[in-house]
């Protein structure tokens, strides 16, 4: 069985955010993965439900990073930003630029 | 171990036996015949051995020929390769692709898997397999020196060996390998057969999309003692935090890449104590033809407590 956080329980908190971030932002992701995510987020296809859920969960996580499950984001992404919040802020900036977050 | 690195007569600055010249005469040539490893390479091996109990020639797993023969390159998005073609491929490319040397002397079934992998776009056999030494992994995680980078000047400043355009290499807080080529081949074969990996590989291709990682227990693919074939190095935490260590390591490596003096202290890495209870992670991406997906990499990960992760 796939032991990834999001695979064990797809409805777990922030499962889509963590899954997408792991796929595209982990240092071992394929070359060009981060650029693909930026394109995918900026020009979402109509059937791309996952990227819409991802954006919603990114917004929620940025509103209150303490709601993220313990260490799951860092375990999945192994980012170099120093904290969940700084990683998420960089992600939002790179993907959505100056677009205000929903609810902000 | 520091005393081994500090000998002024030895390349303690990261130069390894890759740099030594066994053809040169005199004492250096004599020493190379007795101990082909540099002192820094020897020190890394010794440190790994003392922490994890790793034995360079001691770890074996059950990799029956019939299991390895089951490997179907096409099912992994790779070109079909016969045993004869594999031997010829390894002979033809060994000089410029030194990671293929790991398959030297292995059974034809193992050589076939290495030859097939090498013709795909994945890098598991380049960065996470036995040709990588303990010192190379130690330096990869501490300084972002990419084992796949064969230009040693570029490796020293963190230039990636696979990505084009002199991009900086990327590495997380840990660098690991499967030390035995037969175990590695068995993990590939059984991994490709696993239903979750199959589902990822058979996902309908769409531009800009990729299947998520699949994380499987080492024991499922290599048996209950398979973890003994795994070694790794992880960053030392800073103020108890791996996140801080990771951030500072990147800043240090970026300074080296700019050929400036880093502000912060030098990153330190230590061996992973055990992979018992650990996992193998499969990562996917578009294939060369951009009409399907392939395994971009496959690497072992220790259980969480052994990884020393943190929530800070």
Nearest Cβ partner for B213 among A22, A37, A39: A22
- State whether A71 and B310 contact (CB < 8 Å): yes
Q: What distance in Å separates the CA atoms of residue B277 and residue B217, rounded to the nearest whole number?
A: 7
Same domain? For B164 and B268 the reply is: yes
The answer to whether residue B263 sits within a structural domain is yes
- State whether B243 and A26 contact (CB < 8 Å): no
Same domain? For B165 and B137 the reply is: yes
The answer to whether residue B182 sits within a structural domain is yes
B101-110 pLDDT, tens digit each: 999 999 999 9
pLDDT at B14: 43
DSSP structural state of residue B168: B
The answer to whether residue B312 sits within a structural domain is no
Distance from CA of B192 to the nearest CA of A (A): 13
Distance from CA of A41 to the nearest CA of B (A): 10
3-state helix, strand and coil shares in percent for chain A, rounded to the nearest 5: 60, 0, 40
Q: What distance in Å separates the CA atoms of residue B216 and residue B202, rounded to the nearest whole number?
A: 18
Place of tokens 């770890």: B59
Alpha carbon B108 to chain centroid, angstroms? 22
> Residue B150 pLDDT more than 60?
yes
Alpha carbon B255 to chain centroid, angstroms? 24
pLDDT at B61: 76
- State whether B284 and A30 contact (CB < 8 Å): yes
Does A53 lie at the interface with B, CB-CB under 8 angstroms?
no
Same domain? For B86 and B146 the reply is: yes
pLDDT at B195: 97
Q: How many residues can be counted in chain B? A: 312
Same domain? For B24 and B170 the reply is: no
Nearest Cβ partner for A30 among B207, B212, B296: B296
Phi, psi of B169 (to 5 degrees): -70, 150
Report CA dihedral (A11, A15, A19, A22) to the nearest 10 degrees. -160
Same domain? For B141 and B18 the reply is: no
The answer to whether residue B58 sits within a structural domain is no
Short-list A84, B133, B292, B111, CA closest to B145 = B133
Does B199 lie at the interface with A, CB-CB under 8 angstroms?
no
- Residue B220 makes CB contacts below 8 A (sequence gap 6+) with B190, B194
The domain tally of chain B equals 2
Same domain? For B99 and B121 the reply is: yes
Same domain? For B161 and B246 the reply is: yes
Average pLDDT over every residue of B10-38: 60
Same domain? For B46 and B69 the reply is: no
Same domain? For B152 and B46 the reply is: no
pLDDT band at B142 (very low <50, low <70, confident <90, very high): very high
Same domain? For B241 and B101 the reply is: yes
pLDDT at A46: 94
Does B305 lie at the interface with A, CB-CB under 8 angstroms?
no
Same domain? For B134 and B280 the reply is: yes
Average pLDDT over every residue of B40-68: 87
pLDDT at B33: 72
B205-257 pLDDT, tens digit each: 999 999 999 999 999 999 999 999 999 999 999 999 999 999 999 999 999 99
The answer to whether residue B225 sits within a structural domain is yes
Same domain? For B71 and B3 the reply is: no
B234 in Cβ contact with B272 (< 8 Å): yes
pLDDT at B6: 43
B102 in Cβ contact with B150 (< 8 Å): no
What is the interface pTM, i.e. ipTM, of the complex? Answer: 0.95
pLDDT at A100: 81
Containing structural domain, residue B45 = 1-53
Tens digit of pLDDT at every position of chain A (104 positions): 999 999 999 999 999 999 999 999 999 999 999 999 999 999 999 999 999 999 999 999 999 999 999 899 999 999 999 999 999 999 999 999 988 876 55
Distance from CA of A100 to the nearest CA of B (A): 24
pLDDT at A101: 73
Instruction: Choose between B86 and B61: higher pLDDT.
Output: B86
The answer to whether residue B163 sits within a structural domain is yes
Tell me how crowded residue B265 is: count the other CB atoms within 10 A of its CB.
9
């Amino acid at each position: 069985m796939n032991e990834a956080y999001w695979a064990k329980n797809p409805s777990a908190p922030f499962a889509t955010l963590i899954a997408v971030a792991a796929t595209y932002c982990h240092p071992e992701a394929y070359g060009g993965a981060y650029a693909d995510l930026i394109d995918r987020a900026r020009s979402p296809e109509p059937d791309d439900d996952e990227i819409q859920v991802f954006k919603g969960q990114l917004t929620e996580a940025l509103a209150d990073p303490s709601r993220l499950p313990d260490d799951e984001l860092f375990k999945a992404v192994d980012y170099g930003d120093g904290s969940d919040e700084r990683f998420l802020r960089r992600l939002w900036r790179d993907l959505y630029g100056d677009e205000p977050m929903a609810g902000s | 171990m520091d005393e081994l690195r500090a000998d002024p007569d030895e390349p303690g600055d990261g130069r390894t036996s890759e740099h030594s010249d066994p053809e040169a005469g005199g004492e250096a040539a004599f020493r190379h015949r007795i101990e082909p490893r540099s002192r820094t390479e020897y020190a890394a091996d010794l440190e790994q051995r003392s922490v994890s109990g790793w034995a360079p020639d001691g770890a074996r797993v059950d990799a029956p020929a019939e299991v390895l023969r089951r490997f179907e390159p096409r099912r992994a998005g790779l070109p079909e390769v016969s045993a004869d073609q594999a031997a010829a491929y390894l002979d033809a490319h060994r000089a410029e692709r030194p990671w293929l040397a790991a398959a030297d002397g292995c059974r034809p079934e193992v050589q076939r898997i290495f030859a097939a992998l090498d013709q795909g776009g994945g890098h598991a056999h380049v960065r996470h397999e036995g040709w990588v030494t303990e010192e190379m992994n130690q330096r990869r995680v501490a300084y972002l020196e990419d084992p796949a980078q064969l230009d040693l000047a570029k490796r020293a400043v963190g230039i990636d060996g696979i990505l084009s355009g002199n991009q900086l290499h990327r590495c997380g807080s840990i660098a690991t390998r499967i030390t035995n080529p037969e175990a590695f081949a068995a993990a590939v074969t059984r991994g490709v057969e696993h239903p979750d990996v199959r589902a990822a590989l058979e996902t309908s291709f769409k531009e800009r999309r990729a299947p998520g990682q699949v994380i499987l227990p080492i024991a499922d693919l290599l048996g209950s003692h398979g973890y003994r074939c795994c070694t790794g190095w992880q960053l030392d935490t800073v103020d108890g935090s791996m996140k801080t260590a990771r951030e500072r390591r990147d800043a240090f490596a970026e300074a080296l890449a700019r050929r400036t003096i880093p502000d912060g202290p030098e990153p330190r890495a230590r061996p992973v104590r055990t992979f018992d209870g650990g996992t193998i992670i499969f990562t996917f991406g578009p294939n060369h033809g951009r009409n399907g997906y392939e395994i971009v990499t496959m690497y072992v990960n220790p259980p969480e407590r052994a990884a020393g992760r943190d929530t800070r």
